[in-house]
Structure 1
Amino acid sequence: MIARTLPRALTSTRLVRTYAVAKDSTAQPPQDPEKARQEAAQLAVQSLKDMGSLFSMSSSDETQPIDTAPIFKDPKLFGPLSLLHQGQVLKELQDKYDKKWTKLTLEDKYLGYYIAYGDWGVREDFKNWNTLEAPYDLPFKVPSHIKTTTPTKDTKILKLKDPVVLAETPVRLKQFDVKKMDGVTKFFIFLTVLITLFAVARDKRIGEEGRPVEVVIVDKHELERTRKRELAEQQEREAEQKQAQSKKWYYLWLK
């Protein structure tokens, strides 16, 4: 039995799933290269749309709330949505999960399950999400060898002989391969580096001459109050000095 929690937006929900696995169930079916290129192009276009929707200040359809009823009926519509609309759906679903779970409909549960385990986003290659097969990124060997089903206080728990590395599963190899990068990401990285170098060169060329002029605002009333206060303090000091220098008649008599 494998337990997995929903993403951060649905942290109050825990889903438990039982897999009936075969010996070679972790093997990923081969993917057509042409289809892979089309999916990569669609992902790049969707990324540009998401960035545009974040920086856009217009009242277009991309920035307006949508009717989420179709997404609850067909969860596969969740993936192609923009980041803003995905956030809207997650907010509505989270509000339902925060209330009594007995009031959740089957559509609510199905949508939450699809968001956590469905074939969208980084899990777009997980085509067996709605089957009883083990997920492609399961890092354990299947079927697992169970030492005992009745553990006691004297049962020893030993470390696994083989290290469990999530990045070594076939479906995750390309995601954890940092050497390969799509063209859109490379473009924005190079653009950021170019702007940074241009800004540094410009600052060096301008130097101290290009620094902004400091504007000093003088408050005439505050200056007047300060002048009067200093004058009063000076007069008070002079009065104290005169009083200290003046000699009374009994000083002369004692002398």
Structure 2
Amino acid sequence: MAISTQQKEDVIALYVATFNAAPGAQRLDELTKKIEAGTTLQQLADEFVETDDFKNGILEGAATNEEIAKKLAGNFSLTADNPDAQVMAFFNDLLTKGTSKSGVIKEADEYLRGSPVDEFKATADLFKNKITVAEVYSRDKSDPTLDQLQAVLKGVTSAYPKTEAEAEAFLAGGAIITPPPIKTQEVVEVGDIIETANNIVLGTAPDKPIYNDQAESNNTNMNDDGTADMGITLTGVTTASFNTTNFYFA
């Protein structure tokens, strides 16, 4: 029987928590088949920490509980700064009391996906966004090495990408940008456009203020017949009419 969407998310989250990487489609398929066959998440976590990728790639020779706690915290982008130091101390305490490395990772995973205190909300948002990107990537993409799978999540922040659509844009190398709210619904008339050294200066039409916050010229091209093709970006303007009859070139 196929696993549920929640079970699949749990597997991806555990992988991200353990390796700070996306599993990729091929690896995810292998892991979900194990869950279908009856393997528990804890058993999966136990397997993860016994891999060379974890021992050599994540722990990188860390031996003491304090060193291991620091490496595990680093997987969640935590540092020695407060309140992150509290997490490292908590991880260290768990390890000292006999909790396995996989147990610490699984507990951190579940806590951040639950209802963390305000101090760790940004960390939780970052973790959740990494899970979203890892899920979208692992639908049909794979890479052979841990470094490559970790690179998939580089650039993810606590603010972006949050949605599947944003994750798709992120993986495609783009971004979904939400425009700022329009300040006015007035029709703004702009006077002559003067181009000097490829910079646009907007003149003011009589008795009409210019409400735009910014004006930019981009992709200006001179044609053989002496005309010019220009792209002008206005921010904060709903509608603008341009008098483009006069151009002055320096």
For normalisation by structure 1, the TM-score amounts to 0.19
More helix by share: 1
Give the number of the structure with larger relative contact order, counting CA–CA contacts within 8 Å between residues 6 or more apart: 1
Instruction: Determine which structure has the larger strand proportion and give its number.
Output: 2
**TM-score between the two structures when normalised by the length of structure 2:** 0.20
